[in-house]
Amino acid sequence: MSKSILVVAAHPDDEVLGCGGTIARHAHDGDKVYVLIVAEGATSRQLTRDRDLVVGELSELSKAAKTAATILGVTELELLNFPDNRLDSVDRLDLIKEIESRVERYKPEIVYVHHAGDVNVDHRRLHEAVITACRPIPSHPVRRILSYEVVSSTEWQTPGSAPVFTPNWFVDISNFLSHKHKALLVYSSEMRTWPHPRSYEALEHLARVRGSQVGVQAAEAFCLLRQLV
């Protein structure tokens, strides 16, 4: 049976970096994948946040997110306008309410979200909001919650500072790695050159390493946070 899937990401490109191949696989399997991107991107590069100064860049990121969603087979994409890399300045309840409303609307069986120990503050705050919004009250639709890794954030956290990303759930994306690559190509402004971890080469290597850990050609890795069977 078709499943409803909710992917929650902090910034445009996180959804592809973290689980682009998995999204494409869900779509191929007939599942409905809903992607919610919470923060705007770009304004964190300013000394003082001013959306008007980067309106062109924000527009390009929005277009890239929509194109990437089409490539991956996303059912519906929604972009919010929370401040980039400033989610620690937002009331947590405001984030929780946004997530709760999408859970109520889409009734997802599976939710994907950032890892709790990422060095990026938006990733951590969003993780907390999603876990709260998906608390297991009776008749809640969410049966599985998985956290994904985002290169140049998850692996950059220092030992002892936060929970370590120790994956215990792997998705075979051998047939969908090309979809992830194509989706990342439209985010060219966010990509970097090798040997930066957010380069095409590094992401290819990571997928191959994750695949080798479970005996397949390519995989994406997750931490299983909750499973109801």
Q: What is the arrangement of strands in the sheet containing 144-148, beginning at the earlier edge strand?
A: 76-82, 32-39, 4-9, 110-114, 144-148, 219-227, 169-172
pLDDT value, residue 51: 65
Q: Which residue has the tokens 């954030």?
A: 153
Q: Which of 68, 152, 85, 145 is nearest to 121 (CA)?
A: 85
Q: How far apart are the first and last CA of the chain?
A: 16
Domain containing residue 104: 4-227
CA 46 to chain centre: 23
pLDDT value, residue 41: 73
Task: Round to whole Å and give the CA distance between 54 and 159.
Answer: 35
Q: Which of 146, 96, 87, 163 is nearest to 122 (CA)?
A: 87
- For the chain, 229 residues long, give each residue's pLDDT as a single digit of tens: 899 999 999 999 999 999 999 999 999 999 999 999 999 876 656 556 566 667 888 889 999 999 999 999 999 999 999 999 999 999 999 999 999 999 999 999 999 999 999 999 999 999 999 999 999 999 999 999 999 999 999 999 998 999 999 999 999 999 999 999 999 999 999 999 999 999 999 999 999 999 999 999 999 999 999 999 9
Structure tokens at 110: 């599976």
Structure tokens at 161: 């500072």
pLDDT value, residue 57: 85
pLDDT value, residue 211: 98
Rg value, the chain, Cα: 16
Estimate the crossing angle of helix 177-185 against helix 200-214, to 10 degrees.
160
Total domains, the chain: 1
Q: CATH code at 155? A: 3.40.50.10320
pLDDT value, residue 44: 59
Task: Round to whole Å and give the CA distance between 12 and 6.
Answer: 15
Cis bond before residue 195 (omega within 30° of 0): yes
Task: Round to whole Å and give the CA distance between 129 and 78.
Answer: 17
Structure tokens at 144: 């599985």
DSSP lists the bridge partners of residue 8 as 36
